[in-house]
Amino acid sequence: MPLIRMETSVNVPEEKKPEIVSVLSKIAAEATGKPETYVMAILSEAAISMAGKTGPAAFLDVRSIGSINKQVNGRICEEVAALLKNSLGIPGERIYISFTDVKGVNWGWNGSTFG
Q: Is the pLDDT of residue 104 over 90?
A: yes
Residue 56 belongs to some domain of the structure = yes
pLDDT of residue 47: 97
Cβ neighbors of 37 (< 8 A, separation 6 or more) are none
91 is an active site residue? no
User: What pTM, to 2 d.p., does this model score?
Assistant: 0.93
> What's the CATH number where 28 sits?
3.30.429.10
pLDDT of residue 85: 97
Structural domain range at position 31: 3-104
Q: Is the pLDDT of residue 44 over 90?
A: yes
Total domains, the chain = 1
- Model confidence at 6, pLDDT cuts 50, 70, 90, reads very high
Residue 8 belongs to some domain of the structure = yes
**CA atoms of 107 and 100, how far apart (whole Å):** 12
The CA-atom distances, in angstroms, between 93 and each of 40, 42, 50, 58, 101 are 25, 21, 10, 10, 24
3-class secondary-structure state, position 52: coil
pLDDT of residue 1: 84
Residue 33 belongs to some domain of the structure = yes
